[in-house]
Amino acid sequence: MQYDDKPKDECGVFGVFGHPRAVELTYLGLRALQHRGQESSGIVASDGEKLTYHHGMGLVHSVFTDEVLAKLNGHIAIGHNRYSTAGSSTLENAQPLVRNYKQGPLALGHNGNLVNAVQVRNHLENAGSIFSTSLDTEVIFHLIAHSRNQSLEHRILDALRSVQGAYSFVCMDTETLMGARDAYGFRPLWIGRMKDAYVLSSETCAFDVVEAEPIREVDPGELIFIRSVRRGLESMRFHKRQSELSQCIFEYIYLARPDSIMFGESVNNTRREFGRQLAREHPVKADVVIPVPDSATIAALGYAEESGIPFDLGLSRNTFVGRSFMNPTQDIRELMVKVKLNPVRDVLSGKRVVVVDDSIMRGTNSRTLVKIVRQGGATAVHLRIASPPNKFPCFYGVDTPTRGELIASSHTIEDIRKYIRADSLGYLSIGGLLQSVTAPRDFCTTCFDGEYPIPLVEEVSEQLPLI
Ligand code: SF4
């Protein structure tokens, strides 16, 4: 049960090649990427001859104690933080997955969702493959093992030409670090450099932590691999880059950290521009602009800058809220939101308040949010959403409610306003959203317009891999 009524981050991946402390760097990288997955975490390392690894359920710091880290060693490592978008949340599904095939051990950590995973899996099972997890990631392993090519990179290219969907992954054997990004570029993956070592990461904020310099993003449809520091970065393509990409615009709205560079642009700047554009599209007379912390803070700053209305922090967020009840009543659900957010009465009392949030999914929490702001003494509550109405679920690696649960898929904006009991409600338009990025044709906006750039499962069922 979700109390925060937000899409769930997909996963975070990190990798290091050519550093004697690759394991510790990966641990630090995963801590910087914790916001992309909190259910499980794993690190795999290689000393050039064998892989050592550990996975666990929970946050990075609780999974990797000093004793655990001391058992992992090598100059190559990959790590993964998981939130389950495909497969259930169990230890066996924690990544990176490690498997042995005829050329030795291989490890892979994946961020995204393969839209034809079920079909490919059925096809592989009919051909005799035995799967041990419910992860779509495992499909890639089997395709690599089935390839008739000899070199690992050509086997991976074969595998990637058979899968469809949104993915970025890091992969390693005992000697090589690899990374790839799907041809549409849905999910991010960066390459960085630190002296003689190479680093891969979902977001650049993790490079700052390990003091790596970003080099570039892995190009959509590209497989990169590093075998030796002397040979440096090598690259092959498994797909032509699409003429129009489908990079996930929700990374800017909510998913990525504001201190990251994503798809060539600063998340902070882009998110702030969403707030400015929102103020231009939905001005209102008010005394204070407050964010729903923490994800809407940057957009609220943009709204305040553009509107000239003072910015303040009118909601205090309890960052130590743990797991929720399994089957809450509506009353308990509301109280859970209140545990998380409390009004700051000094800021709100007697004021007309603009509340900026990044998105609305089901709408139940927005209703509680408006109630909390009124309880803080606000005389009017104007809710402003720094993204367009979420009407369609994501099948590309972000966990969103079903279409039936998304309030905007079946209600008008006025209906939603009445339901959440706000004095006014304004969403950023799709045009305004795209106007705020430099290459609008290169973004997926399916959540808002329902135009799925990759056909969904039924339509790809005939396109099976060759094994
Ligand atoms: S559907 Fe939405 S969340 Fe999914 S990739 Fe597209 S923009 Fe991102």
Mean pLDDT, each 10-residue run in order, the chain (467 residues): 59 96 98 93 97 96 96 97 71 89 93 88 88 87 92 94 93 97 96 95 97 97 94 93 91 96 96 98 98 95 98 90 58 78 96 97 94 97 98 92 94 98 98 95 95 71 40
Residue 81 CB contacts under 8 Å (≥ 6 apart), including other chains: 11, 12, 30, 33, 34, 36, 37, 38, 40, 41, 60
Residue 397 Cα to ligand 1 middle (Å): 8
pLDDT at res. 322? 56
Q: Distance between CA atoms of 331 and 94, rounded to whole angstroms? A: 34
37 neighbors 397 (Cβ within 8 angstroms)? no
Helix (H) / strand (E) containing 425: strand 424-427
Question: Which residue's alpha carbon is at the smallest distance from atom 5 of ligand 1?
Answer: 248
Across the beta sheet with 197-201, the strand order is: 51-57, 40-46, 76-82, 11-17, 197-201, 190-194, 213-217
Q: Residue 71 burial by CB count (10 A; 0-12/13-18/19+): exposed, middle or buried? A: exposed
| Active-site position among 11, 171, 394, 447 | 11
pLDDT at res. 133? 86
3-state helix, strand, coil in the chain (%, to 5): 30, 25, 40
The answer to whether 248 is a known catalytic residue is no
Pocket test for ligand 1, best of 242, 430, 446, 452 (most atoms within 8 A of CB): 446
Residue 11 Cα to ligand 1 middle (Å): 14
Query: From the CB of residue 59, how many other CB atoms can be counted at a distance below 10 Å?
Result: 17
Pocket test for ligand 1, best of 11, 36, 245, 249 (most atoms within 8 A of CB): 249
Strand 11-17 with 247-248, pairing: unpaired
Ligand 1 atom with the smallest distance to the CA of 452 is 1
pLDDT at res. 93? 81
DSSP for 226-293, please give it.
ES-TTT-EEEEESSPPPSS--EETHIIIIIS-TTSEETTEEHHHHHHHHHHHHHHHS----SEEEE-T
Ligand 1 atom with the smallest distance to the CA of 186 is 5
186 neighbors 247 (Cβ within 8 angstroms)? yes
Residue 452 Cα to ligand 1 middle (Å): 9
Residue 398 Cα to ligand 1 middle (Å): 7
186 neighbors 250 (Cβ within 8 angstroms)? no
Q: Distance between CA atoms of 65 and 368, rounded to whole angstroms? A: 39
Residue 446 Cα to ligand 1 middle (Å): 6
Q: Which of 408, 316, 302 is nearest to 360 (CA)?
A: 408
Ligand 1 atom with the smallest distance to the CA of 392 is 1
Q: How many CA atoms lie within 13 A of 138 on its CB side?
A: 18
Per the document, the length of the chain is 467
Which residues line ligand 1 at a C-beta cut-off of 6 Å?
Answer: 186, 248-250, 394, 396, 398, 444-447
pLDDT at res. 463? 41
Question: Which residue's alpha carbon is at the smallest distance from atom 2 of ligand 1?
Answer: 447
Q: Distance between CA atoms of 235 and 245, rounded to whole angstroms? A: 20
pLDDT at res. 457? 61
Strand 51-57 with 261-262, pairing: unpaired
pLDDT at res. 460? 41
Pocket test for ligand 1, best of 246, 394, 430, 449 (most atoms within 8 A of CB): 394
Residue type, 83: Y
Q: What angle do CA 384, 396, 263 make, to 5 degrees?
A: 70
Ligand 1 atom with the smallest distance to the CA of 7 is 3
CA distances from 357 to 268, 282, 363 (A): 15, 14, 12
pLDDT at res. 91? 83
* DSSP SS3 for 140: helix
